[in-house]
Structure 1
C-alpha cells in the first residue's frame, strides 16, 4: 500500500513541478533518493511520466495523465471543439496557442500548438499557471463572480517578477479592464520572457470552462500586436464557447 501511495504522491509532485529531477522529488516527498528513483521508474514503466532529454535526467507527465484527467472532467469534448479553432488562430498569427482549464484556484495548461518561429515560448502540458500573473489565469478570474475573485485575493497574491500585480485593488482594477475589453494580457508578470493575451471560454452557465491564449516572447510583443492578438483570441474564445454550448445542448437531448 505504501508503494502505491508513494507513486500517487510522486505523480502529483511531477505534475506540480515538472520537469523535476530525482533529487528534487526526494526532497519534496521527504523520501530517500533511492525510493524516489524506484517510484519514478515505476511511473515511467506504466507510461505516466517521461524523460525530458535534459542532463541530469528530469521527468514530466505524458499525455496518458492528461487523457485520464480529460476523461474525468469532460475535457475531451472541449479539446475536440477548441483545437480546430486554435489551429486556425495559430495559422493566422504564427504564434504559440495554449488551451488551459480551471481547476479550483489553479489554471492548468492542457494543449499547446507551437509557432514555426525559432524563438518561441515552450511550457509543458500540465503546467500550473497563476491566476493573477498569467493571461490565462486572469482571463478565467475576470469571468468568475466577484465572491470568487475575493476568495482568490484573500489567499494572497504571490510575486513572481517585478511586474506581478500583488496589490488587491490593482488586481480588481485589472479584472474590470479585462471584462471591458474582452481579453487579458500578461507582460512578463509570471516570467519576464513570457507575454501573452488570453480570453475565457464560457460554459452554458456563463462561467469559465477554459481559456485560450496566444503566447509570445516578451521581446516580440508590442502594444499594437497585443491589441490585434487580443481581439483575435477573444473572437476565437467566443466561437469555441458557442460551439461547446451547442454540443452540450445536443448531448442533453
Structure 2
C-alpha cells in the first residue's frame, strides 16, 4: 500500500511542477531517490508520464491524465472557481496559497499556487493535514456543528511540535477566538518551521466546505504581517463562497 501511495504522490507532484527531475522530487516529497525512481519507472511504464526533451531526464505527465480528469467532478468545480481567487491572494500576499477540503477527519490539499520567493514552504497535492494543528483545519473546526465537534474533541489530541494545542478545552477556546476574528493562525503547530493563516469557505447554509490559506516560513509570520494576511485570506474566502452559490 505504501508503494502505491508514494507512486500517486509522485504523479501529483510531477503534474504540479513539470518538468521535474528525480532529485527535486525526492527533496520536495522527502523520500529516498530510489523510492522516487521506482515510482517514476512505474508511471512511465503505465503511460502516465514521459521524459521531457533535454539532456537531463526530467518528467512531464501525458494526456492519459486528461481522460481520468475529465471524468471527475465535485472538487474540480471547486478548484476551477478557486483558481482566480487563489491567484489574487498570491499576488496580494506574495506568499504560497493553498486550497484544502475536509475529508475523513483531515484537511486535504487540492490546489496550491507557490510564491516566487526563494525560501518557501512546499507540500504535495493530496497531502493530508491534521484538523487541530493546521490553520486550515482550525478554520474549518471553528465552523463545525457542535455535535460533530464534540465527537472530534473527545480525547487529547496528537502533539506534533511544542506549540501544538493538544488539550480539547484549550482548542475550543482557540476556535472561539477564530470565529470572532474571522481567520485561523498556525504558528508552527504542525511543523515548527511553517506558519499559515487560513479562513473557512462557507456554504450558503454556513457549513465549512473548504479553506483557503497563506503559507510561509515561520520567520515571515510576525505580529506585523499576521493581520494583513488574515484580512486578505478572509476576503478571499468570502469571494470564493460567493462564487459557489
Residue by residue over 1:161-180, the C-alpha shift from the partner in whole angstroms, topping out at 9 and shown as x without a partner, is: 00000001000101111111
Which of 1, 4, 25 aligns to 1:11? It is: 4
- CA drift of 1:204 comes to 3.1
Q: 1:161 to 1:16 in 2, by over 3 A?
A: farther
**Structure 2 counterpart SS, 1:154:** coil
Counterpart in 1 of 2:131? 131
Aligned residues: 218
- CA drift of 1:140 comes to 1.3
TM-score, with length taken from structure 1: 0.74
Residue by residue over 1:90-112, the C-alpha shift from the partner in whole angstroms, topping out at 9 and shown as x without a partner, is: 11111111111111211111111
Contact 1:188 1:218 in 2 (8 A): yes
Distance 2:138 2:66 in 1: 23
Distance 1:106 1:68 in 2: 24
Counterpart in 2 of 1:99? 99
Residue by residue over 1:163-201, the C-alpha shift from the partner in whole angstroms, topping out at 9 and shown as x without a partner, is: 000001000101111111111100000001100100011
* Between structures 1 and 2, the one with greater helix share: 1
Residue by residue over 1:118-161, the C-alpha shift from the partner in whole angstroms, topping out at 9 and shown as x without a partner, is: 11111111111110001011111112111211221236411000
- CA drift of 1:69 comes to 8.2
**Structure 1 counterpart SS, 2:110:** strand
- CA drift of 1:67 comes to 9.5
Counterpart in 1 of 2:18? none
In structure 2, stretches of 5+ residues that fail to align are: 11-28, 51-60
Distance 1:66 1:86 in 2: 23
Contact 2:9 2:125 in 1 (8 A): no
Contact 2:153 2:168 in 1 (8 A): yes
TM-score, with length taken from structure 2: 0.77
Distance 1:78 1:210 in 2: 9
Counterpart in 1 of 2:196? 196
Q: 1:143 to 1:48 in 2, by over 3 A?
A: farther
In structure 1, stretches of 5+ residues that fail to align are: 1-5, 26-36, 51-60, 246-253
